[in-house]
């Protein structure tokens, strides 16, 4: 299944993509799917972020090569931080940083979208808690992050978390190629097989401390190659078998 959230005919609807069309739903994809009879060509639909998280739980330094480019050794456990719901941005949405931001970075990542309330999950049961997978850009005001000495302000500015274009359960998240492109040029390449902590163990680690709700997102970390974006730049995050998340810097 490929799940989308779209704006069509002036209303926001959830839907499922089938043969280039969006079949719209009553309610959300987190419950049993109930189709409402609406069918719209995908190209007539404005894509929104394909989930509405109460929080985005991010893993810092989940690839060894990125940990090293940040000047340290890989941590021995997942380092977590949050992005607030104010950061969620849509496929094609503009990314705008306040004028005081001196360095605005992309971080291409695989995102996990939660299907049902998750607390004290055991790694071997992880799959039943997951709706699917999508692309995410963990946009970061790097100079603010470094100035503050912790990550809240630099990571959680409005619109700093584009997600999309849709959520799919049709991939094996254990081995997916990831590529980030800036103005068409590849700047990050990785594979989710390189994760220091894999998704089942991440869910067990996170939910030992905090409850994840339907629609919450786990951002699984970025590979080496982070770099800055300037106004006018176009940034794309592509995950193998999922799709391309494309945004422009305003
Ligand atoms: Mg990140």
201 close to 59: Cβ distance less than 8 angstroms:
no
What pTM does this model have?
0.97
Q: How far, in Å, is the centroid of ligand 1 from the Cα of 4?
A: 23
* 215 Cα: distance to centroid of ligand 1 (angstroms): 19
**pLDDT at residue 59 above 90?**
yes
Q: Report the distance separating Cα 148 and Cα 26, nearest Å.
A: 44
pLDDT of 9 above 90: no
pLDDT digits (tens, 9 = 90+) for 190-203: 999 999 999 999 99
Distance 61 CA to ligand 1 centre (A): 7
Which DSSP string corresponds to 127-166?
GGGEEEEEEEE--EEHHHHHHHSSSHHHH-STT-EEEEEE
Between the CA of 26 and the centroid of ligand 1 the distance, in Å, is 34
- In contact, 139 and 160? CB cutoff 8 Å: yes
pLDDT value of residue 72: 87
Q: Ligand 1 centroid to 40 CA: how many Å?
A: 34
CA of 162 to the centre of ligand 1 (A): 12
Q: In the predicted model, what is the mean pLDDT of residues 104-120?
A: 98
Distance 59 CA to ligand 1 centre (A): 6
Q: How far, in Å, is the centroid of ligand 1 from the Cα of 156?
A: 12
**Per-residue pLDDT tens for 76-98?**
899 999 999 999 999 999 999 99
Q: What's the mean pLDDT in 98-102?
A: 98
Q: Is the pLDDT of residue 73 over 90?
A: no
Q: Is the pLDDT of residue 7 over 90?
A: yes
Distance 155 CA to ligand 1 centre (A): 9
CA of 58 to the centre of ligand 1 (A): 6
Distance in angstroms (rounded) separating the CA atoms of residues 83 and 60: 12
The overall average pLDDT reported for the chain is 97
Which residues make beta-bridge pairs with 14?
A: 5
Q: How many Å lie between the centroid of ligand 1 and the Cα of residue 233?
A: 19
Cα distances from 112 to residues 24, 50, 105, 156, in angstroms, run 22, 11, 21, 18
pLDDT of residue 19 exceeding 90, the answer is: yes
- Ligand 1 mean position to 24 CA, how many Å? 32
C-alpha 67/C-alpha 223 separation (Å) is 9
Query: What CA–CA distance (Å, rounded) separates 233 from 8?
Result: 28
For the chain, the farthest-separated pair of C-alpha atoms sits apart, in whole angstroms, at 54
Alpha-carbon span 65 to 77, nearest angstrom: 16
């Amino acid at each position: 299944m490929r799940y989308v959230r779209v704006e069509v005919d002036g209303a926001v609807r959830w839907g499922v993509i089938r043969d280039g069309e969006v079949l719209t739903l009553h309610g959300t994809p987190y419950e049993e799917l109930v189709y409402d009879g609406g069918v719209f060509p995908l190209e007539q639909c404005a894509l929104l972020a394909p989930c509405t998280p109460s929080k985005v739980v991010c893993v810092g330094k989940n690839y060894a090569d990125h940990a090293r480019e940040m000047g340290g050794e890989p941590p021995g456990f997942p380092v977590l931080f949050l992005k607030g719901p104010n950061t969620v941005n849509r496929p094609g949405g503009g990314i705008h940083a306040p004028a005081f931001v001196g360095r605005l970075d992309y971080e291409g990542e695989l995102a996990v979208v939660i299907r049902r309330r998750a607390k004290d999950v055991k790694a071997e049961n992880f799959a039943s808690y997951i709706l699917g997978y999508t692309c995410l850009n963990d946009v970061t005001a790097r100079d603010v992050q470094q100035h503050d000495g912790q990550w809240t302000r630099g990571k959680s500015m409005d619109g700093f978390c584009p997600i999309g274009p849709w959520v799919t359960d049709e991939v094996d998240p254990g081995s997916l190629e990831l590529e980030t492109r800036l103005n068409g040029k590849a700047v990050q390449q990785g594979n989710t097989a390189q994760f220091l902590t894999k998704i089942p163990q991440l869910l067990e680690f996170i939910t030992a401390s905090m409850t994840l709700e339907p629609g919450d997102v786990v951002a699984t970390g970025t590979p080496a190659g982070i770099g800055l974006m300037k106004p006018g730049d176009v940034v794309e995050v592509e995950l193998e078998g999922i799709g391309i998340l494309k945004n422009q810097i305003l």
